[in-house]
Amino acid sequence: MKFLASPNPISYNSDKNIGFISTRFAGTDGVTLESAKWAQVLWDDKNVSYWYAGRLDRHPDISMCVPEAFFGHSENQWINDRIWGTPYRSRLVSDRIQEMAKYLKETLYDFVDKFKIDIIVPQNVLTIPMHLPLGIALTEFINETQIPTIAHHHDFYWERTRFSVNCVHDYLDMAFPCKSDNMRHVVINQSAQEQLSLRKGASSLLIPNVFDFDNPPLEIDDYAKDFREEVGLEEDDIFILQPTRIVPRKGIEHAIKLVGLLNDPRCKLVISHDAGDEGFEYQHMLEELADEEGVDLRFISDRVADIRQRNKDGKKMYTLWDLYPHADLVTYPSIYEGFGNALLEALYFRVPIVVNRYSIFIEDIEPKGFRLPVMDGFVTSSVLKQVKSILRDRDYRQKMVDHNYNLARKFYSYSALRRSLRTIITSLTGLSPN
């Protein structure tokens, strides 16, 4: 996805200069991906996006990298080690928080001045306190400048148990999120909207995650056409993709159970990502379970990257989007998701997907009328029957994925996002963006 649509974006005669702010805009995490989609839609209305973060993969002409703003920076890690899991904090910790916040606030002033920013878009940085000083700095900056702000919230701190015991309730009340007359809050699901209103007394607009359903995916190109062969899949193998990291909340044990019940040696369950920084105990459990169930489980994170490239052995690295067109089925048995990007991706690439009824799916997605094999915490005979029909009946499969694509285009397309962003910008500026 490109972010530099003009050789000299700073001189482009845009309607508004939009400043995206977070701890990181790099890789394939949900915040980075959704921010890029927002930037593309805003660009279509002649708004130019600029980027502020501690880690960036954006063009330097339109971005400002402040290493101290990254949640993994050593100073921030020092602070985090002393504020989570304890009800007490020392004066030294308070001083370090405030010193870092003061420094980051100055860099925010520099960012807005440098790029003549009209509207800022904090991306999850006022939502989940992985970088407390940055949230404080941004809160003070917003209230000092009264700059028009669209705060995009992906997952709040009260949704994560690791933040429940802490010694910074005063800062959380102040900044996560803050309130300002010139701020509009955006959430990605109904539960977050209700909780934000209940806990903070703040109204918000619900904008779910989106995908470019107005432009169907291209055919498999020459680079990606050999993917199955490269990862050791035979021509008649049934490629079942689990397009997630290996973490317990993804419920991958249900995918293994499903494949085991299919009782077909052609079925290969392929996991695209690794365990990240959450340890390997869960992965080892999955390997043992797959062995017990007789499931051919494969890990291919060493062949999947954010961009197409060659690894140190000279082998091709594929993107996640290279994988979907080859898949016969996607499993998504998550226990919890803030929304569910993998679900939208499977719908976009017209791959049938098996979903567990996580809470956001039940409340926000299921009522839309998608046709999916749906499990409710375990694999039933009905789900198994539907999956077998998908794998055996090409017409049944095609009607299902076409129906889902058209429905997703209605609710989760760039067009839907564009309408919402125009409404917000108009409410902030009093002027239509067109």
Residues 156 and 124 in one domain: yes
CATH number of residue 369's parent domain: 3.40.50.2000
pLDDT band for position 432 (50/70/90)? low
Is 434 inside any structural domain?
Answer: no
Same domain, 358 and 231: yes
CA neighbor of 204 nearest in space, from 228, 223, 188: 188
E strands along 300-376, which residues?
309-310, 316-317, 329-332, 353-356, 374-375
pLDDT tens sequence across 169-193: 999 999 999 989 999 999 999 999 9
Same domain for 384 and 298: yes
The sign of the CA dihedral 26, 27, 31, 37 is: positive
- Which residues face 84 on adjacent strands? 166
Q: Are 240 and 205 in the same domain?
A: no
Is 405 in the same domain as 422? Answer: no
Say whether both 15 and 66 belong to one domain: yes
- Within a domain: 219: no
Domain span including residue 271 = 227-411
Verify that 383 and 423 share a domain, yes or no: no
Residue 215 falls inside a structural domain: no
44-to-3, 175, 183, 417 alpha-carbon distances in Å: 12, 32, 23, 12
Residue 105 lies in a domain: yes
Counting Cα atoms < 13 Å in the Cβ hemisphere of 41 gives 23
- The pLDDT score that the predictor gives to residue 277 is 62
Strand order across the 17-21 sheet: 63-65, 48-53, 17-21, 119-122, 149-152, 183-187, 205-206
Do 258 and 180 lie in a common domain?
no
Q: Stretch 95-123: mean pLDDT, rounded?
A: 98
Of 5 and 229, more confident: 229
Number of domains present in the structure of the chain: 2
pLDDT of 429 strictly over 90: no
pLDDT tens column, 215-224: 999 999 999 9
CB 294 within 8 A of CB 221: no
Beta bridge partners of 325: none
In this prediction, residue 13 has a pLDDT band, given cuts at 50, 70 and 90, of very low
Do 407 and 418 sit in the same domain of this protein? Answer: no
Give the integer Cα–Cα distance in Å for 434 and 426: 10
In a domain, 101, yes or no: yes
Q: Output the pTM of the full model.
A: 0.87
Residue 352: name the closest of 395, 318, 309 by CA.
395
Contact present, 148 and 182 (Cβ < 8 Å) = yes
